[in-house]
Amino acid sequence: MGDEAGRVLLHQYDPFTTSITAASTAGPGNTADLVLDVVKIGTDTSGILTLTTPDNPGGVPMASATVAGAPLPAPSMGVSSLAIAMQGLAKTLSQCFALPVAQRALERDTSIPEALGGSSVTRAAAPCEALTDPGFLHNGFNAGQYFYSSFTSNSMTGAQFSVPQVMQLIPGGIGGRDAAIINARFLDANGLAGNYITVAVNKATGTSTPNWVVYGNQHPVNVQVRSSIRRQQQMAPVTQPAFAAASLSTYQTGIEVFINKDGPGSTNLTAARVTGPGLPPKGLILNRPIASAEPQQSWLNIADKSGGDPGVVAGQRTNCNCDIFFLQRTQDVAGAGASTVRSNPNNANSNSGQFVDWAHPLDYGAATGTPSNEFVPFDKIVAGATYKVELFYGGSSTPTHTFNKTLLSPIIPATQGAKLAWNAPAQAALDLLDPTNALAAAASALTVSWIQHPAAEQIRLAQIFARSSTGTVN
């Protein structure tokens, strides 16, 4: 549908007399549904309700008894044409995954090294091939690699897809073409939720009818910049001498910079530099971990935040297991302590570099002792914030690849952590941490269980770490 047709539909829409017909894989929705696809209600980092559109992810505050509202600028007409294109994509996804594995993954190659993207479906059924443009590349994966696990999984047969959400529109984002970050959600055959977050581009030129295709972000390496908040619950009796140095219960929030050291484009990758909102002005430099200390770690570690030379920092390896730059923490996870800021490490002294993965007042030009809520610019670390990524190879100080990543959700202050929904560990899991419980005895395998909160994210990975007297991971 062209822009002019979309303009006519919106002009004719009367919100008071028009019922809503939702788009689905069976057919398109009406204009009322199109408006809901374009205008979203969210919150800012202070918890104030906002109205946003895909080309204005920061949005404007909604009027309330305490907050003055602001007019929301009209979105570009490309947004409405994109919403309609997403309805077609949902239909194609459903057609592809209605087929059994043998009919959708016709040929596959499992011999491709991980550093070249790994296993790939090299020939797929027609509706599966139609999901992406021939030039698709996302974080170093071609389409057959990006969808490999889904194309070859029996649990994806009959998966149910919703119309993909347009998360952000980026004018001229890829090769001068308008680009959009999209989120395609689904339920697999077992009722488990999943999603694909990738990029669509408008390949039409000039005033031609928009032609949106799934194209990927065209980045050569698997890099993710994401918001992070964790609930760290300490079960050990920290008042006893043996546990006096144990970490306290806390909410911690930060910016995760995941750079896959083994995936596509990783051969001879020695360092990376990331700059952007919320990070120290000179950015973060990451390097490879000490292989003998962290043999299973697949990501680069944060190694410098003071503007070091990437070629030099590449050789200063650590075993910190750190790819999250923490910004703030609370005094506890319950009671008044859950909403009270706890000082960041070394906050009161000038040794800002000892904890390289933690924000320090001096990193931001503030005086020592300044609490994190006064120097961390949470109002700048919002959905749509852009981060520059530079990748260095062979110990060089000159980047080989440079591209931008977009933050898809805002950084939530740690003091807001108690307001979020969290999954709770089941009692049997807690018993594993009790030295007096039989379940805490040495075992070749452990069963971990939790109580899923309906409003919380699903747990996709559970890990158990133990440390010996030498500090190595068992």
pLDDT at 52: 74
Tokens found for residue 75: 């979105």
Vertex 333, ends 329 and 339: CA angle to 5°? 60
Long-range contacts of residues 119-123, Cβ cutoff 8 Å, at least 24 apart: 119/145, 119/148, 120/144, 120/145, 120/148, 121/147, 121/148, 121/151, 121/152
- CB count within 10 Å of CB 343 equals 15
Phi, psi angles (nearest 5°) of residue 144: -65, -30
Which is it for strands 284-287 and 177-187: parallel, antiparallel or unpaired?
unpaired
Query: In the structure, what pLDDT confidence band is assigned to residue 60 with cuts at 50, 70 and 90?
Result: confident
Length of the chain equals 474
> Across 56-60, 78-82, 296-300, which has the greatest mean pLDDT?
296-300
**pLDDT tens readout for residues 29-42:** 555 555 656 676 76
Find tokens 């001096």 and name the residue: 362
Give percent above pLDDT 70 in the chain.
Answer: 83
The answer on pLDDT for 48 being more than 90 is no
User: Cα 160 from chain centroid?
Assistant: 22
Residue 255 banded pLDDT, cuts 50, 70, 90? very high
Instruction: Please measure the distance between the N-terminal and C-terminal CA atoms of the chain and give it in whole angstroms.
Output: 58
pLDDT of residue 3: 40
Distance separating alpha carbons of residues 405 and 201, to the nearest angstrom:
16
Contact assessment for residue 179 and residue 198, using Cβ atoms and an 8 Å cutoff: no
Question: CB–CB of 432/448 below 8 Å?
Answer: yes
Do 283 and 408 touch, CB atoms closer than 8 A?
no
Chain segment 332-363, per-residue pLDDT in tens: 999 999 999 999 999 999 999 899 999 999 99
The mean per-residue pLDDT over the stretch 94-117 comes to 97
Q: Quickly state the pLDDT bin for 166 (edges 50, 70, 90).
A: confident
Lowest mean pLDDT across 39-43, 84-88, 403-407, 469-473: 469-473
Q: What does the block give as tokens for 277? A: 């909102």
DSSP letter assigned to residue 177:
E
Question: Among all chains, which residue has been given the structure tokens 């009209």?
Answer: 74
Rounded-to-integer distance, Cα 189 and Cα 396, Å: 48
3-state class of 463 per DSSP? coil
CA 379/CA 373 separation, integer angstroms: 11
Strand positions, DSSP E, 348-423: 386-393, 401-406
The residue with greater pLDDT, 89 or 35, is 89
Average pLDDT on 397-418 reads: 95
What's the confidence (pLDDT) of residue 38?
67
Residue 103 has pLDDT above 80, yes or no: yes
Give the model's pLDDT for residue 444. Answer: 83
* Mean pLDDT (the chain, rounded): 86
Pairing state between β 424-425 and 450-451: antiparallel
Q: Which of 152, 153, 145, 146 lies closest to 189, judged by CA?
A: 153
The one-letter amino acid at 299: W
Tokens of 414: 């740690």
CA 34 – CA 240 distance, rounded (Å): 60
Closest C-alpha among 95, 78, 54 to residue 202: 78
Beta bridge partners of 269: 393
3-state secondary structure 223-261: EEEEEEEEEECCCCCCCCHHHCCCCCCEEEEEEEEEEEC
- Contacts of residue 48, defined as CB under 8 A and 6 or more positions apart, other chains included, come to 61, 62, 64, 67
Burial of 109 per CB tally in 10 Å (0-12, 13-18, 19+):
middle
Strands 284-287 and 269-275: antiparallel
DSSP strand pairing (212-214 vs 250-259): unpaired
